[in-house]
Structure 1
Amino acid sequence: MQSLAADLELAAVTKAYGDTTAVDRVSLKIPAGTYCCLLGPSGCGKSSTLRMIAGHEFISDGDVMIGNTIVNDLPPAKRGTAMMFQNYALFPHLSVRENVAFSLKMAGTPKAERLSRAEEMLSLVDMGRYGDRLPAQLSGGQQQRVALARALVTNPTVLLLDEPLSALDPFLRIRMRAELKRYQRDFGISFIHVTHSQEEAMALADMVVVMNDGRIEQVGSPREIFNQPKTRFVAQFMGGHNVVSDAGRAYAVRADKVRLLGTVSSDETSSQRATVTDVEYQGMTVHVAMRRSDGTDLLATLAEHEFDRAPVSVGDEVQVGWHASDRHELAA
C-alpha cells in the first residue's frame, strides 16, 4: 500500500501560551519522503511544533502547508497526517485488529473493508498472527508495531511520531530504530519524529532539525549537524565536541580529535596544559575529562590501545593539542 507523499512547510509558525512563547516563528520545509527528526532538550518547542502540524494545538501565528494546502483550520482527520503517540494510546478493551481498524470505523468505512485493511497493515508490520490479542498481552515492541499499523492504516501523507521509542528498553530501542527506518522507506512518505536523543536522530534521520528555546538552531543531515555545528548550543548539545576560545573566537573540536601529547609537532596547534578530572572506560574507547587553568573543560576520546600506551589518572597534569584543521569555527 503506497501513500501519496507531499512536502510539508512551516512558515513563521508561532505558538504562545499567554505570555510564554513555546515556538517562535519557526520556518522549515520538509521534502516529501524525508525522515526528519526534531531534536532538542525538554521545553525547546519540538513537541508543540509536532502537535501544531497534527492539528492538536492551535497555531498562534504563521501557516502549516501540506502539499499545496494550508491546513491551519482543518481538523486532524482532514490533514492527511497520522500521529503515533509516546505511550502508543492503544485501547485496552479492543483487540489488536480492532485497534488498527478504529480510525477507519470512525471514518465510516464498512466493517469488512476496515478489518481487511487492518489485517493488511498488521501483516506489513509482522503482527498478523496477533490480531485477536489484547494490547496487555503484547510486549512493548509489539505494541509499538500495532500503534504504527494503526497510524499507517489511514494512508497518510505524513506520519508524526512523538518520542515513539522512549518507553522501550535500550536493546529493543535499537532494533525498532531499524524497523522504523525500513517502514519509512517502504511507504515513501515523510516521518517527522520528535526526540531528545542525539543518537536516535543520528541513526534515523535524513534531516535533523535542532531546536532550542522555541527556535531552530540548525538544519542539516546528521553528518553536517555533528561535524559542522553552527552554534555553541549545537556543538554542546550534540555531544562529543569541545568548545574552546581562541583570540575572541569560539571553536568546536571533536573529542576524538583531541590528543594527549608529549611534544607538539609543527602541524598541531599550540599545546595547552590541563588537569585530568575523570577517566571513564567505555570498552573500545576511554574518555579523559580535563580542565584548563582558565576553567575550560575538555574531553578527549581515545582508542583503548592509544590510552594504554600512555595511561593517565585523575589529578595528572597533561599536555593537550589538536590539528588546526580539526577546529570548526562557530557563529558568534
Structure 2
Amino acid sequence: MDTSGIRIERRFDVELVKVTKRYGSTVAVDGISLRIPPASYCCLLGPSGCGKTSTLRMIAGHEVISDGDVLIHDVNVTDLPPVQRGTAMMFQSYALFPHLSCLDNVAFSLKARGIPKPARHAKAREYLALVRMEKFAERLPAQLSGGQQQRVALARSLITEPRVLLLDEPLSALDPFLRGRVREELKRLQRELGITFIHVTHGQDEAMALADLMVVMEDGHIRQAGPPREVFERPVSAFVARFIGGHNILRGPDGPIAVRADRCRLGVAGEGPHVLGRVAAVEYQGTSVRVAVSVGEGEDASVLVSDEAFYADPVQPGDAATLIWTERDAHALAEVD
C-alpha cells in the first residue's frame, strides 16, 4: 500500500538486470536481462553449459552474482541470503531424508523454525494432499516410486509458501510416461497456487508444454524469450530454430529461412519453392512418418507426413526427393550460425 491506501500492483515477480556470473576467467552468464510477469510458468531452456542452471542458482542466492541485480516482487534481493528471498528450490536429486517419513520430510523446515509437532504435521498433511500423496504420509522415501518421491520433494518446497518456486530439471530422472503425468501436476499446482515457477530444462517438449514464458539460452546469453507458440512459430535465429526442433533451415533468395517440417512435403519441382535431395532415412512415429532428406553436402532437412499419406506413396532411403514448401510458411532468420 502507498500512503493514500491505494494498492500498488507489482509489475514482475522476478526481474534480472544485466546479470553476469563469472567463474574465474570463464563467463557462464553474460549480462542477461529478463522480466517474468506475476504468476508465470517460466522455463529456462538450452543445451548443457548454456548458463541456465547458474541463472537459477543466482535467483535462489546459491551463487554469488558477479555483476547486475535480481529483483523479486520489485525488491532488490541481490545481496540477501537465500532464506530472505522468498524463494524455494527443488533440486534434481530430490534430497529426501531417507530415515524420515514423507510427513516428517515435508514438515522438516517447520521443525527447524521451532513450530510444534501437531501444527507442523497438520500443515504437512495439507501439502501432501495438495500433491495427492496424503495416503503415503507414513512411508519412507525408499518405499516410494521416483514419481512419488518427486511429489514429496515438491510438497516440502511448497510448505514454506515461497513467492517463487525454482525447479532444477525436476523431471529428468523420471521415465517418459511418468514424466508426462508429473508435468501435468506441476502445471496444475502452479495455476492453483498462483505463484511463479522457474523451471530449468533441456527438453524442448517439456518447455513448450509447461511454459507461459520460454527462455532459450546459448553460451550465457538469452537468444529468445516469449510465449512457446511465438518462439516456435518465429524463431529469431538458426540456433533457436534448430534447438527447439521441428524446423528446416533452408537457403532462400535473401538468406537463410526456417520452415517447419510439418509444413513441408515431398513433390516435384515447379510446385513451389523447393530443394532437390535424396531420402536419407524414414522413421515411423505412429500418427506420422518423418522422412529425412539430404539436401546438400553436410545439410539435411525433414518432412513430417501423416502415416496415411506416407503409405499411400512411400519412399525408401536412397530415393531421389524434392522438398517443397510455400512462401507463406517460410520465416526469415535474423542471424546465421
* Deviation of the 1:109 alpha carbon: 2.5
Superimposed CA distance per residue, residues 232-268 of structure 1 (whole angstroms, 9 cap, x where no aligned partner): 1000001110001223511000011111103533xx2
Give the secondary structure class of the aligned counterpart of 1:236: helix
* Deviation of the 1:129 alpha carbon: 2.0
Give the secondary structure class of the aligned counterpart of 2:174: coil
Match of 1:19 in 2: 25
Equivalences for 1:1-332 in 2 at 5 Å? Answer: 7-262=13-268, 264-265=270-271, 268-269=272-273, 271-332=274-335
* Deviation of the 1:120 alpha carbon: 1.1
AA at the equivalent of 1:328: H
AA at the equivalent of 1:310: D
TM-score (structure 1 length as normaliser): 0.95
Distance in 2 between the 1:154 and 1:132 partners? Answer: 21
Contact 2:268 2:324 in 1 (8 A): no
Contact 1:81 1:158 in 2 (8 A): yes
Aligned residues: 326
Contact 1:264 1:321 in 2 (8 A): no
Give the secondary structure class of the aligned counterpart of 1:178: helix
Superimposed CA distance per residue, residues 107-134 of structure 1 (whole angstroms, 9 cap, x where no aligned partner): 2333332222111111111111221111
Distance in 2 between the 1:320 and 1:124 partners? Answer: 50
Alpha carbon RMSD of aligned pairs, Å? 1.5
* Deviation of the 1:296 alpha carbon: 2.5
Distance in 2 between the 1:198 and 1:305 partners? Answer: 27
- Structure 2 portions without partners, runs of 5+: 1-8
Give the secondary structure class of the aligned counterpart of 2:160: coil
* Deviation of the 1:80 alpha carbon: 0.3
Contact 1:83 1:160 in 2 (8 A): yes
Give the secondary structure class of the aligned counterpart of 1:168: coil
* Deviation of the 1:294 alpha carbon: 4.8
Give the secondary structure class of the aligned counterpart of 2:310: helix
Cα gap change, 1:200/1:293 in structure 2, threshold over 3 Å: closer, same or farther?
A: closer
TM-score (structure 2 length as normaliser): 0.94
Distance in 1 between the 2:259 and 2:51 partners? Answer: 28
Give the secondary structure class of the aligned counterpart of 1:73: coil
* Deviation of the 1:295 alpha carbon: 4.1
Distance in 1 between the 2:296 and 2:21 partners? Answer: 44
